[in-house]
Amino acid sequence: RYSDYPDMFISWNILSTIGSIMSTISMMLLMFIIMESFLSQRLILFKFFMASNLEWMNSYPPMNHTYMEIPSTFNL
């Protein structure tokens, strides 16, 4: 069984078909990007980001018990 619409709705049917095709292509592209990112195992792009925040002052990845006491922070 299928729905049969009058010919006056053909423009909406075409618009719906184009939207469905765009959604399908977008999902396939998303799946390709996710699979490629897992398989390629590239390096982190912003590993050497030089921020002045406290969390960026530690080694990467941070070691356990990095601070012996809670560090004090202040604005410059």
Domain boundaries, the chain: 8-41
Mean pLDDT of 39-54: 70
Which pTM value belongs to this model?
0.51
Stretch 22-47: mean pLDDT, rounded? 89
In the prediction, which pLDDT does 30 show?
97
DSSP 47: T
Q: What whole-number percentage of the chain has pLDDT above 70?
A: 55
**Sequence-ordered list of residues with C-beta below 8 angstroms from that of 56, at least 6 positions apart, any chain:** 49, 50
Report the distance separating Cα 37 and Cα 27, nearest Å. 15
Residue-wise pLDDT tens digits, 7-32:
888 898 899 999 999 999 999 999 99
Q: Outline where the chain has alpha helix (H).
A: 10-40
47 exposure class (CB count in 10 Å sphere: 0-12, 13-18, 19+): exposed
Reduce the DSSP state of residue 36 to 3 states and report it.
helix
The residue-averaged pLDDT of 40-46 equals 76
